[in-house]
Structure formats: structure tokens, C-alpha cells
Amino acid sequence: MAGLDKKQVMDSLCAKGYQEESGARDHHVFVYYHNGRKTRIRTKTSRSPKIRTLDSSLVSKMAHQCHLTKDDFVRLVRCPLSAEEYRLILADKQLLG
């Protein structure tokens, strides 16, 4: 698998229920919100402008943090996996309390 564009990943996370937390200095930290409430589900990307593409190993780590398989994370970023489908996956795993 080729890497994913960092900006595309960040934009997609925000479109699928994540919000970027302010205050982190070295990383963009994204927290998943469900029904307006913050959850414990979070992931992050580097703030470095030198990093424009997320390699396969980093995509795997982010997928794990988002409680998805790597393939499902790629689908989440590239949009075949909708916000509602993602919410259902998290609900099936009983992560939304």
C-alpha cells in the first residue's frame, strides 16, 4: 500500500466525527466525539511540514488507535466508509458507552 496524504487523513477524520484538540505542540491530536461528547478514542499526526505522506506503518498505528483494520482505516480516509458506518463499528465494539 502506498502512503496516505496527511492533509487528506486530517480532513477525513474531522469529517467523520473527530475534532482536533488544541494545545498539543508536536502533534495534531484528534479525538472522536459521539453525540457531542468526547470519547477516549484518539489518534495523532505529526505537525512537521516535512511529513506530507503517512507511510504504511504509521497508517497501521493510526488504524489501531481508531479501532479499525488498516483496510477499514484507508476506506475511512478515502470515504467509502461513512461516518455512520464508522459509528456502528465502534458501537459494535462497545466503545461508545
pTM of the shown model: 0.91
Contacts 24+ apart (CB under 8 A), 40-43: 40/95, 41/65, 41/66, 41/67, 41/90, 41/95, 43/13, 43/18
Which tens digits make up the pLDDT trace of 1-16?
Answer: 678 999 999 999 999 9
pLDDT band at 82 (very low <50, low <70, confident <90, very high): very high
Question: pLDDT at position 15, please?
Answer: 97
Question: pLDDT at position 23, please?
Answer: 78
pLDDT at 47 over 80: yes
Nearest in space to 12 (alpha carbons), one of 96, 83, 92: 83
